[in-house]
């Protein structure tokens, strides 16, 4: 297993936790997922992956779309669309040859009910879901699947950065925003990150070979749509 993130220290700590929990060999690549060199370094470490999880963990806060330049939009397309697509392009030929491949893209539940202030992120993530929808039927005959996980509010550092951004934009306190979000979540809590990991583990399993091209929401009942 190869892990990629920019900070060597936290990356190594995570790798060690995985090694001692599973006994699986884990290597780390301290690099930027959004650079060609970073993705090349990850592929050099693990040239023939059977599983790819694209998790562009960029912290984002809400903003005013009127102020964004073409360069800003291009940045978000790189982060949430092109970096993942390029890795998918690199790994699917080998997966098809080996007749096994599982790819999971991390997105957000809000692609199904977009939020004010997040046009940059929603647009780029929807581009990825759209591109994947057009790819999957060519891959599933080879037992290669691509699915998208759309989380609601999971208790990570990024969540709290995001909630602070909402508080500042709404000119209210962080505590008031937390209370509001918990009230509007039928489950009445933020999820543990392991609940997302469990869903990804299923989608990457041999048992999930008949499921592809799906955008799966896990948000404690916030999203009320049927599809």
Ligand X SMILES: NC(=O)c1ccc[n+]([C@@H]2O[C@H](COP(=O)([O-])OP(=O)(O)OC[C@H]3O[C@@H](n4cnc5c(N)ncnc54)[C@H](OP(=O)(O)O)[C@@H]3O)[C@@H](O)[C@H]2O)c1
- Using CB under 6 A, list all residues that contact ligand X: 4-7, 10, 32-34, 55-59, 106, 108, 151, 153-154, 156-159
CB of 138 to ligand X, least distance (A): 26
Query: Cβ atoms within 10 A of the Cβ of 217, count?
Result: 23
CB of 17 to ligand X, least distance (A): 13
Query: Nearer Cβ to ligand X, position 142 or 184?
Result: 184
Query: Nearer Cβ to ligand X, position 6 or 209?
Result: 6
Q: Are 143 and 39 in contact (CB under 8 A)?
A: no
CB of 100 to ligand X, least distance (A): 25
CB of 143 to ligand X, least distance (A): 26
Query: Nearer Cβ to ligand X, position 55 or 61?
Result: 55
The Cα 52–Cα 146 span in angstroms is: 9
CB of 77 to ligand X, least distance (A): 14
Query: Nearer Cβ to ligand X, position 10 or 184?
Result: 10
Query: Nearer Cβ to ligand X, position 57 or 186?
Result: 57
Residues, the chain: 227
What's the sign of the alpha-carbon dihedral 110, 49, 196, 146?
Answer: positive
Structure tokens at 107: 């997105």
The Cα 166–Cα 63 span in angstroms is: 9
CB of 7 to ligand X, least distance (A): 3
Query: Nearer Cβ to ligand X, position 140 or 185?
Result: 185
């Amino acid at each position: 297993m190869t892990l990629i993130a920019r900070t060597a220290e936290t990356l190594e700590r995570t790798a060690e936790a995985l090694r001692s929990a599973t006994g699986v060999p884990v290597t780390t690549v301290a690099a930027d997922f959004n650079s060609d060199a970073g993705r090349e370094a990850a592929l050099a470490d693990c040239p023939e992956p059977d599983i790819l999880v694209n998790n562009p963990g960029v912290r984002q806060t809400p903003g005013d779309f009127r102020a964004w330049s073409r360069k800003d939009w291009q940045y978000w397309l790189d982060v949430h669309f092109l970096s993942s697509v390029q890795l998918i392009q690199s790994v699917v030929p080998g997966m098809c040859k080996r007749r096994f491949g599982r790819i999971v893209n991390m997105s957000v539940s809000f692609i199904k009910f977009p939020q004010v202030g997040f046009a940059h992120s929603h647009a780029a993530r929807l581009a990825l879901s759209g591109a994947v929808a057009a790819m999957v039927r060519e891959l599933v005959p080879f037992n290669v699947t691509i699915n998208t996980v759309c989380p609601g509010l999971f208790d990570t550092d990024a969540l709290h950065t995001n909630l602070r951004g909402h508080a500042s934009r709404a000119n209210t306190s962080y505590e008031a925003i937390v209370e509001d979000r918990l009230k509007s979540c039928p489950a009445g809590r933020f999820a543990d990150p392991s609940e997302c990991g469990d869903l990804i583990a299923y989608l990457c399993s041999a048992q999930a070979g008949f499921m592809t091209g799906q955008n799966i929401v896990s948000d404690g009942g916030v999203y009320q749509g049927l599809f």
